[in-house]
């Protein structure tokens, strides 16, 4: 049976002790380090990267390198090491940032013991694990971001976006809106910048998301 090497980072000793007691009943998990800040964990991993560390369990709020910074450091420098965030902090910005930085899992601190073990097992088997509460926050945040983006567009920008998505040429859009071809080009460039996409296909996806083609 393979033994997995785990690191736990949290500045609350009670939580550290609780996780340690849960894992003590599992013969295939070996906790090789506990730390009360992310900096010590990052330093340890950098020095002992060849020791086959499998998973880092971390809180978000910690002194000297929080969980977001620690996850980013691990993913940029030691991408084979998995990361699981266990935290009471799960606002949309935190969840989205960690997801963007390729965190492997995220569960609330008040999750049941069984969910913690399920998350660890799932991640070590190569899959991601996000508690339902975290998924809900993420989706709500994504919807809110898209709504803010849509609200940031002017009526004219929405008209241009709609016609782009309907595959009108630049000249056809100019004729339709009684504007110059140059003006339409400016709108197109601004839309690509504002919506942070690379091409017309990206613009079309947003037109669909915003319901402009309904």
Give the pLDDT mean for 86-102.
Answer: 84
* pTM attached to this predicted model: 0.68
- Fold observed for domain 153-209: Arc Repressor Mutant, subunit A (1.10.10)
Higher pLDDT, 154 or 46: 46
Residue-range domain boundaries for the chain: 4-141, 153-209
Q: What is the pLDDT of residues 22-57, one digit of tens each?
A: 998 888 999 999 999 999 999 999 999 888 999 999
pLDDT above 90 (res 88)? no
CATH number for the segment(s) 4-141: 3.40.50.2300
Tokens of 161: 């976006």
Which two three-digit tokens encode residue 123? 């991640």
Cα angle 207, 208, 214; round to 5: 105
Count CB atoms within 10 A of the CB of residue 109. Answer: 17
- Crossing angle of helices 181-194 and 170-177, rounded to 10°: 110
């Amino acid at each position: 049976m393979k033994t997995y090497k785990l690191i736990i980072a949290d500045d609350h000793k009670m939580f550290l002790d609780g996780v340690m007691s849960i894992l003590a009943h599992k013969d295939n998990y070996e906790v090789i380090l506990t730390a009360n800040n992310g900096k010590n964990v990052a330093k340890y991993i950098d020095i002992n990267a060849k020791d086959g560390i499998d998973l880092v369990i971390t809180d978000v709020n910690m002194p000297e390198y929080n969980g977001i910074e620690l996850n980013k450091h691990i993913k940029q420098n030691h991408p084979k090491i998995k990361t699981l965030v266990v935290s009471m902090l799960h606002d949309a910005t935190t969840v989205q940032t960690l997801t963007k930085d390729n965190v492997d899992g995220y569960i609330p601190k008040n999750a049941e013991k069984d969910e913690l073990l399920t998350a660890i097992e799932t991640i070590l088997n190569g899959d991601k694990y996000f508690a339902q509460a975290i998924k809900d926050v993420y989706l709500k945040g994504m919807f809110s971001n898209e709504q803010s983006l849509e609200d940031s567009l002017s009526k004219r920008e929405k008209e241009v976006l709609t016609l782009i998505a309907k595959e009108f040429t630049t000249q056809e859009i100019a004729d339709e809106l009684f504007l110059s071809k140059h003006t339409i080009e400016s709108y197109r460039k601004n839309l690509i910048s504002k919506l942070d996409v690379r091409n017309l296909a990206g613009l079309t996806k947003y037109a669909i998301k915003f319901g402009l083609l309904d």
